[in-house]
Structure 1
Amino acid sequence: MRIAVLIKQVPDSDEIKMDPDKGTMIREGSGNIVNPLDLNALQAALDVKKKCGADISVISMGPKQADIALREALALGADNAYLVSDRFFAGADSWATALALAVTIIKTGPYDIILAGEKATDGETGQVGPEIAAMLDIPCATYVSFMDIDDMFVTVKRTVEDGIETQRLYLPALITVLSDINDPAMPTLSGKKRARRSDISVISAADIDLSSEEVGLAGSPTRVVKIEHPKITRHTEFYCGKDIEHGIEHVMKVLKELAIL
C-alpha cells in the first residue's frame, strides 16, 4: 500500500502579519511548525503502516525552509519526502495550491490513499483537500475522527454537527482528519538521525509541467481584497454598596434587550 500525506509548515505565532497590497501572509521573521492536524494525518498513515505495511510519502508545498517540516515527518517514520517549491508558487490561494499538489501526487504516485489535516492554522479554509480530490476525481471524506482500511475500501467516521456519520469509500480516496483520530507520537533519536541523512526531492513548476500563469498569485482565482482587525471596546460600570440592587436591575435590563434572557 502506498500512502501520501500532505503536510504544511505554518507560522508558530499569533502575531501574523499580512501584506496589505497582495493580501498574503508575511512568513518571514516568525518561527514555523508542522501544521498540528497534519501530524494527526501522518500518525494515521503510520498506524496503517504498523498494521498492514505501507510506504509513506510526505508532500509539502512551500519555500526551501519547509524541508524542516518534511524532515520532522521523516523522523516520525515517513519513507519519502517531496518539497514542491518554486518562486512561481508564491502567493497561491487554495485552488492554485491544490493544483500544484494534485499534479505532484500524479507524478509521484499512484497512491492508495491520501491523508491531510482538516485545515491549516494559518488559513483555516479546509478547501485544499477536497479540491485535490475533485481534481484527481477520487472520493473524499472530511472531518474524519476514525479510519479503517480493508482491502479495496476505507471506512471512516465523520464528526459532524448532528453526530457521527459513517462512510465507506472505494480506494483510492482522500481523507482529511481531525485531532480526535489519534495522538501523534514523538520522534525517536534514531528517527532524527535517519531524517538528517535522508534526501528530499524538490519539485519545481517545470517538473510538473505547470506554467507560471497556472500557479502562485497569477493562477489564483481568489484574492484577499481587504484586511480588517477586530476592535474590542468595552464600557464598564461598577456597582457596590447601596447601588448593587440598581446594578442588578440594569444588568437584567441589558440582557433582555440583547435577547439573552
Structure 2
Amino acid sequence: MDILVCVKRVPDTAENEIEVNSDGSDIERDDVVYSVNEWDNYAVEEAIQIRDNVGGSVTVVSVGDEESEEVLRREMAMGADNGILVDDELFENTDGKGIAAALKAVIQAGSYDLIMTGALADGGAGQIGGMVAAMLDLPYASLVNKIEVGDGSLKVGREIEGGNQEMNEISLPCVVSIQTGINEPRYVGIRGIRKVASVEIPVKSAADLGLSADDAAAKVTRQTYFVPELGEGAEILEGTTEEQIEKLIEILKSKGGIK
C-alpha cells in the first residue's frame, strides 16, 4: 500500500510561550522553536505501521518554505521512505484551500492508495483533509483513532459522543484525518537523522504542479489575532494543580455550588 502523509511545520507550544505581536497581525515569531505538527506525527506513525504490516511505501509531503525540509527529514528518520516539499512564494500567505490545492496536485502526480493528514494543525480549523478529499472526489473519514486494513478498504474507528466508539468501512483510495492517541509515535534518534541527512528531497513549485497564482491565492484572510479580555468577575487561579483545585472547591462552596 502506497501512502502519502501530509505534514506541517508549526510552532512548538511545549517549547514556546506564544504571544500576539503588537499590531495583532500574527504571533511573535522571533526565536520561536518549530517542530512537526503533533497530529501529523501520529499520522506518520500509523502509516509506517500499516506499511510494515502490508508492504508498500510511505511518502511525506509538506507545503512550506525551505525550513520545512527539516520536518520532512525528521519524519523520514522516523521511517517514512520519501519526502516531497512544495515551496513557492505563491503559497506564502495562502489559506486552507490553497494548501489543499497544492496537495491535490501532488497526489494526482503520484499514485497513492491512502492519503493521511493530522486532524488539526496550528490554525485549528481541521479542514485540509476534508478539502483534499472533496477536490479529489474521494471518500473521507475524520478524527480516526483506529485503522484495520482490509481487501480494498479500511475499517476506521472514531470516538463519538459519550466516549463511544463507532467503526466504519471506507473504500480505497481514500483520505483519513488522524486523531492523537491512535498510537505511540516512535522516538527519532540521532542515528536516524544522520541516515537521511543527505537524502535528496524533491522540491516542487506551483508551476511544476501546474498551479496558477489564482489556485494559490487565499480566499479567506485573517483579520487579527487577539487575546480575549478578562471578563468581569472572572478569576484566574494560580499555583500548582493541587492548589488550584483546593481554591476552586473553596470558591464553589462559598457560592453554594457544592456543599
| TM-score bracket for this pair, using the shorter chain length | 0.7 to 0.9
Alignment of 1:230 onto 2:231:
no
1:186/1:225 Cα in 2 relative to 1: closer, same or farther (>3 Å)? same
TM-score by length of 2: 0.85
Residue of structure 1 in register with 2:38 after alignment:
36
1:250/1:53 Cα in 2 relative to 1: closer, same or farther (>3 Å)? closer
1:117/1:248 Cα in 2 relative to 1: closer, same or farther (>3 Å)? closer
- Kindly provide the CA deviation profile for residues 194-235 of structure 1, in whole angstroms up to 9, marking residues without a partner as x: 2112111101111011112221xxx21112223321122657
- C-alpha separation between the residues in 2 aligned to 1:85 and 1:18? 26
1:248/1:194 Cα in 2 relative to 1: closer, same or farther (>3 Å)? closer
- C-alpha separation between the residues in 1 aligned to 2:198 and 2:80? 13
- C-alpha separation between the residues in 2 aligned to 1:65 and 1:56? 21
Residue of structure 1 in register with 2:181 after alignment:
180
SS of equivalent residue, structure 2 residue 215: coil
Alignment of 1:6 onto 2:6:
yes
- Following TM superposition, by how much is the alpha carbon of 1:97 offset from its aligned partner in structure 2, in angstroms? 1.0
Residue of structure 1 in register with 2:240 after alignment:
none
- C-alpha separation between the residues in 1 aligned to 2:210 and 2:87? 13
Residue of structure 1 in register with 2:238 after alignment:
none
SS of equivalent residue, structure 1 residue 179: coil
Give the paired residue count. 240
1:206/1:249 Cα in 2 relative to 1: closer, same or farther (>3 Å)? closer
Query: Does the CA contact (< 8 Å) of 1:24 and 1:91 recur in 2?
Result: no
- Kindly provide the CA deviation profile for residues 139-176 of structure 1, in whole angstroms up to 9, marking residues without a partner as x: 11011110011120010001122421211000001111
Name stretches of at least 5 consecutive residues in structure 2 with no aligned partner.
236-249
Residue of structure 2 in register with 1:126 after alignment:
126
Query: Does the CA contact (< 8 Å) of 1:7 and 1:116 recur in 2?
Result: yes
- C-alpha separation between the residues in 2 aligned to 1:231 and 1:136? 42
- Kindly provide the CA deviation profile for residues 6-42 of structure 1, in whole angstroms up to 9, marking residues without a partner as x: 1100012341445858x55564531100001111000
Residue of structure 1 in register with 2:239 after alignment:
none
Residue of structure 2 in register with 1:151 after alignment:
151
1:134/1:232 Cα in 2 relative to 1: closer, same or farther (>3 Å)? same
Range 38-47 or range 222-231, more displaced? 222-231
- Following TM superposition, by how much is the alpha carbon of 1:190 offset from its aligned partner in structure 2, in angstroms? 4.0
Map 1:199-214 to 2 at 5 A. 199-214=200-215
1:69/1:250 Cα in 2 relative to 1: closer, same or farther (>3 Å)? closer
Code of the aligned partner of 2:208: D
Query: Does the CA contact (< 8 Å) of 1:11 and 1:32 recur in 2?
Result: yes
Residue of structure 1 in register with 2:18 after alignment:
15
Code of the aligned partner of 2:225: I
SS of equivalent residue, structure 2 residue 255: helix
- Following TM superposition, by how much is the alpha carbon of 1:70 offset from its aligned partner in structure 2, in angstroms? 0.4
SS of equivalent residue, structure 1 residue 56: strand
Residue of structure 2 in register with 1:45 after alignment:
47
Q: What's the C-alpha RMSD, in Å, of the aligned pairs?
A: 2.5
TM-score by length of 1: 0.84
- C-alpha separation between the residues in 2 aligned to 1:50 and 1:235? 52
Query: Does the CA contact (< 8 Å) of 1:9 and 1:33 recur in 2?
Result: yes
Alignment of 1:142 onto 2:142:
yes
- C-alpha separation between the residues in 2 aligned to 1:191 and 1:94? 32
- C-alpha separation between the residues in 1 aligned to 2:84 and 2:18? 29
1:248/1:230 Cα in 2 relative to 1: closer, same or farther (>3 Å)? closer
Residue of structure 2 in register with 1:244 after alignment:
none
- C-alpha separation between the residues in 2 aligned to 1:248 and 1:195? 55
Range 223-232 or range 82-91, more displaced? 223-232
- C-alpha separation between the residues in 2 aligned to 1:134 and 1:19? 38
Query: Does the CA contact (< 8 Å) of 1:3 and 1:113 recur in 2?
Result: yes
1:26/1:99 Cα in 2 relative to 1: closer, same or farther (>3 Å)? farther
Code of the aligned partner of 1:231: E
- C-alpha separation between the residues in 2 aligned to 1:248 and 1:10? 38
Code of the aligned partner of 2:133: A
1:248/1:29 Cα in 2 relative to 1: closer, same or farther (>3 Å)? closer
Residue of structure 1 in register with 2:172 after alignment:
171
Q: Percent identity?
A: 31
